[in-house]
Amino acid sequence: MSIGLPLTIPNSFARAARWFGDGEAVVDSATRLTYAELDLLSRRAAALFASLGASAGEPLALLCPPSAIYLVAWSGAVRLGALPMALHTRESATTLAAVCRKMGPRLLVYDASMEDLAAGIAAAYPHLTACVEALSAVPPKRSGTFAPAACIPRDLKEERSDVPLPSPGENDPAVIVLSSGTTSVPKGVVHTHRGFIENARSNLHLYQGLLPRDRSVVPLSTAFIGCYNGWFPFLNAGACTIFMEHFDLGDLVQRVTKERATHVFLTPTLWRRLLNSDEPGADFSSVRLIGFAAEPMDAPTLKRLREKISPNVVQMYGSTELGAAGSCITADEMIGDRLISVGRPLLNGDLRVVVPEAVRPMKCRPARSAKFSSPVLRSPPASGAIRRRPPRTLSSMAIGAGGARATSAASMPGAIFIWKAGATT
């Protein structure tokens, strides 16, 4: 007998809206929404999308910068039972149309500043039943020749907020996150409701606890899994996300200072630029944890970060398939060779080291320091499928260094992932 509500994104958000209704959920350069306001707008967005042909279980494409209206559209899609799929905003219309042909969305929500790109997608992918314009703080760039079926948030005022909505199951698909597409057309990694909630729970370890008063600055593209890692755990905890429509180092410093941000994640390169910029009026006293990923950190920069911004520093490793973060290491552990370590698996996860030189079947052993190796992770947030490519789902998630396959994949519950050859643990 099950007790309590299923672990789904709509249930998680409804709980946050109920308990923290007056608290700020999302902020961008022009808009501030409380949980109660986001709850209302997302319900109306779900009703609007349904009236335009979107349906449960099918992708809904989003072409938006990080913004409050993006979160309204994303939440509306999830509440409808559709699968929000954020497109890479810097890709060409040809590439994005190819993604749509693979994924099969019938509705596209695009930012008004990206009308030309949206028009190009629609021309090359004629299976869209409707396009919806979203107005963010980014100035619109309209040609006058592309007519959207609706505009949000303007047209949400006409929609009802009490329309009956589906109740997805924990293991139902919830979100499609696109891979980087460095070797081919980006693939659609499908995450379940339970997986996304487990990811938010696991990140309590990464973020060293989250409270409703916490505030995360997110300057990343909405299409990348790292962006989700920057805002979804905070939404789940009743905290606030500060979206940056475009990345600018001076603007980031001003946002951190003005909004009293508590969590900031950047690459080591950007941290070095920030430390050397000496921005006037910068105040990092509100920051209680900073993080980095994507590239190695050097010891002098780490020392300066701890002295100038926050003593609490964390590094994370992960992948699109894993829900961004699979393991992490804190600054206190980043000593000597462990400065480039992938660290420990997050809560309820498991980490092994695959030795590429081993004869097949590849040998997995508990994580220890290894000079030439690749980490293998399994975790509850792990994706279980690649949309419309079931024969390749397992192989794409279990390829080791040198093209060798981890034959233990079938014996490990859930998906496993291998990446970053040469990292230590």
Task: Please report the pLDDT score of residue 412 as a whole number.
Answer: 34
Vertex 100 angle, CA 69 and 135, to 5° = 20
> Using one digit for the tens of pLDDT, what is the confidence trace for 194-234?
988 988 888 887 888 899 999 999 999 999 988 998 999 99
The residue among 425, 355, 413 whose CA lies nearest residue 379 is 413
How is the chain split into domains, by residue range?
9-175
The residue among 163, 172, 212 whose CA lies nearest residue 6 is 172
The average pLDDT across 129-147 equals 93
Q: CB neighbours of 30 closer than 8 A, spacing ≥ 6?
A: 136, 137
* pTM, two decimal places: 0.85
- Local confidence band at 166 (pLDDT 50, 70, 90 cut-offs): confident
> Using one digit for the tens of pLDDT, what is the confidence trace for 258-300?
999 999 999 899 999 999 988 888 999 999 999 988 888 889 9
* pLDDT over 90 at 400, yes or no: no
What's 9-175's CATH class? alpha beta
Distance, in Å, from the CA atom of 396 to the CA atom of 394, rounded to the nearest integer, reads 6
The average pLDDT across 9-20 equals 95
> Using one digit for the tens of pLDDT, what is the confidence trace for 239-260?
999 999 999 999 999 999 999 9
Cβ atoms of 73 and 97 closer than 8 Å: no
Distance, in Å, from the CA atom of 117 to the CA atom of 92, rounded to the nearest integer, reads 7
